[in-house]
Amino acid sequence: MDMLTRRTLLTATFASAALLAFAGLPRMGHAQAANAAAAFVDQTGKDLLAVVNGAGSAADKQARLRQIVDRAVDVDEVGRFCLGRFWRVATPEQQKQYLELFHQVLLKNISGKLGDYQGVTFAVGRALAKDGGVSVATVVTRPNSAPANVDWVVSTASGSPRIVDVVAEGTSLRLTQRSDYASYLSQHNSSVPALLDAMRQQLAQPG
pLDDT at 173: 87
pLDDT at 15: 41
The domain of 56 spans 2-204
Of residues 171, 172, 168, the one with CA closest to residue 147: 168
Give the H or E element holding residue 127.
Answer: strand 121-130
pLDDT at 29: 58
Query: Over the stretch 81-120, which tens digit does the pLDDT of each residue have?
Result: 999 999 999 999 999 999 999 999 888 877 777 777 778 8
pLDDT exceeding 70 applies to what percent of the chain? Answer: 84
Calculate mean pLDDT across residues 8-14: 42
Cα–Cα dist 66/108, whole Å: 10
Look at 10-14, 107-111, 128-132, 193-197 and tell me which has the smallest mean pLDDT.
10-14
pLDDT: which is higher, 1 or 69: 69
> CATH no. for residue 29?
3.10.450.710
What is the pLDDT confidence band of residue 65, given thresholds at 50, 70 and 90?
A: confident
Cα–Cα dist 23/37, whole Å: 11
Q: Mean pLDDT for the chain?
A: 82
Phi, psi of 85 (to 5 degrees): -65, -20
pLDDT at 30: 67
Calculate mean pLDDT across residues 13-42: 57
Task: Check: CB of residue 140 under 8 Å from CB of residue 147.
Answer: yes
pLDDT at 119: 84
Query: Over the stretch 179-190, which tens digit does the pLDDT of each residue have?
Result: 999 999 999 999
Total structural domains within the chain: 1
Task: Check: CB of residue 163 under 8 Å from CB of residue 72.
Answer: yes
Q: b/e string for 117-150 if b means 16 or more Cβ within 10 A?
A: beebebebeebebeeebbbbbbebeeeeeeeeeb
- List the alpha helices (DSSP H) in 90-191: 92-111, 173-186
Of residues 67, 30, 22, the one with CA closest to residue 47: 67
Q: Is the pLDDT of residue 164 over 60?
A: yes
Cα–Cα dist 43/18, whole Å: 8
Q: Is the pLDDT of residue 10 over 50?
A: no
Query: Over the stretch 49-63, which tens digit does the pLDDT of each residue have?
Result: 888 888 888 888 888
